[in-house]
Structure 1
Amino acid sequence: MEIDLESEMKLSRRELRVLLLHEFRLGRKATEATSNICGTMGKDVLSIRTAQHWFHRFKNGNFELDDLPHNGRPLEVDMDLLKQLIEQDPRLTSRCLAERLGCSHITVETHLNELGKTWKYGVWIPHELSPIQLQQRVDACMELITSHRNYQWLHNLIAGDEKWMLYINYTYHRQWLSAGQTGVISNA
């Protein structure tokens, strides 16, 4: 039975920092430590830049391996409340949602992306033509074709299908939508 070491060895940040401290105490350089750790634990487990950062901290006498508490807004949000807000009004911007949830708009966007939501514009919704409207279009096309045969531009005339778009000055609003879902245009 073959064991895939890369999938078995998921290191926490603290464990990775312990390995870096060990390499530092052995007197190795950051690039060499990165090569050793990545060779043992997995190709992309550590970047040289991260190793350099921690080696710099160790050289300055800072051997604290745990993350310090951060100031600022929380990274976690109430997912149920976020879903509820999006269902009530999918046109709310990430900044408006962040204000209501008490976090940053980047955090809101991250969580919305995790939910499979993307920021899209609404789409035009075609309407079926009535039989009278269909006949009026056919009559107009026939009149153009038969009455102006000597004009060359009429040879390039293209007739459409049985759909029509009602011209109302709609306002386009972006909306948070799931994959495959289409938005709707609303009157302003």
Structure 2
Amino acid sequence: MLLARLHLASGEKPYSPADLHKKLSQVRDWALASYPMGKGYFTFSFASDAAVSMVWAQGAVSLKPGVLRFMRWTPNFSPANQRNTNAQVWVRLWDLGLQFWEPVTLFEIANGIGVPVKIDQNTLERKFGLFARVLVDVDLTSSPPCELAIRRSNGEVAVVELEYERLPDFCTHCGNVGHRVTACKLVQKPDSAARIRE
């Protein structure tokens, strides 16, 4: 068995188990059964160890919309105790030559940041040449890069500057996306701790 968390952008409709199974069968030819656990988590069961290894090797799957991120199954798993460390963020790739604007190439570049989800329509249609824009599922446990080095076919290296649109807050105390450590409910304030002891 494997666990997975479905990450959706704000406003995107959650998948039912049947919709998720149908979507996965369109993306990958996998024989699996899924069971919802709440808070976007699913348990997946497989017919063989080989099937588990094949899916586990993927790490994450872009569903368009959404990203399904796989993790190892644990016996006492509870969605309430899990940390949410990922967020989908629009990333601007500045000063990127138009020869890199093919969707496959943009996804390869975005892999250096996280799991690419989709490309902005204006970028696909090349309506705005100042920067390319890609939606990427980013793990915020480490600081996302400010630039990427891209090696051209002739051996030259181009450095691409990255700009993140509305990068969400990340709490270094509880390890969850959505607030800073100064607003974390799990951080006990010194004065409140003193009142409890009195």
- TM-score when normalising by structure 1: 0.21
**TM-score of the pair, normalised by structure 2:** 0.20
Structure (1/2) with the larger strand percentage = 2
